[in-house]
Amino acid sequence: MPAPASPPPSTGKPAGRIRQKNEKAIIAAAEEQFARHGYKGTSMNTIAQAVGLPKANLHYYFSSKLGLYVAVLSNVLDQWDATFNYLSVDDDPAAALSSYIRAKLEFSRNQPLASRIFAMEVISGGEHLSGHFTQDYRDWFRGRAAVFQAWIDAGKLDPIDPVHLIFLLWGSTQHYADFASQICRFTGKNSLKKADFDEAADNLERIILKGCGLTPPPRS
């Protein structure tokens, strides 16, 4: 019987801070392994090696590969959703949509592997997302759509289907992470730089906002 996993050694720092730091490092290493090898092709041992922790210590933080995989998916969604959590009917639609487009593209630039893992999970059926896409999440989604509908009812936004607008926002911004290799092939680039994401943001902002009957806000 294997020895139980040992907690991290005491360093005099608050345990919560150490745990957060280690969990963040583990999730980052897991993102790379899951993106490269898929769920089935990744083992807890390879993740432990990548993060530089004994496998027993890895199990102290995440008891199973499935638990770690779900944590990676949840981390992606939590960061994406955070940019939309406080959307309000009192917001200026042009400013709110512009801010969301740029925040999502920044995530695609900084964490492309996380986006690709999510895309692969959805394409394969989304079995491991069932615990996240609960009634609460559906209510959250309907709440975002309701804000768009309120803007439409107030004459601030052209009459469009809010649900399809949200899907368009998601798909267009995540495309630059999930299909970066395709974009590079067609544009003759070796990789996408910050300037490429800025250019994408300018174009998506103009296309989407004008399609909603809005004028893009001036850039400072």
Tens digits of per-residue pLDDT, 46-58? 999 999 888 888 8
pLDDT at position 3: 36
pLDDT at position 21: 87
pLDDT at position 149: 98
With beta carbons less than 8 A apart as the criterion, state whether 33 and 50 touch: yes
CB atoms within 10 A of CB 108: 22
Tokens of 206: 């103009």
pLDDT at position 15: 57
Residues spanned by CATH 1.10.357.10 within the chain?
Answer: 73-211
Residues spanned by CATH 1.10.10.60 within the chain?
Answer: 15-63
How many CA atoms lie less than 13 Å away from 97 in the CB half-sphere?
30
Q: Which fold has domain 15-63?
A: Arc Repressor Mutant, subunit A (1.10.10)
CA distance 176 to 192: 9
Interior angle at CA 15, CA 12 and CA 17, nearest 5: 100
CATH class for domain 73-211? mainly alpha
Q: Give me the residues of the chain with pLDDT under 70, please.
A: 1-15
Assign 101 to helix, strand or coil.
helix
Tell me, letter by letter, the H, E, C secondary structure of 110-150.
Answer: HCHHHHHHHHHHHHCCCHHHCCCCCHHHHHHHHHHHHHHHH
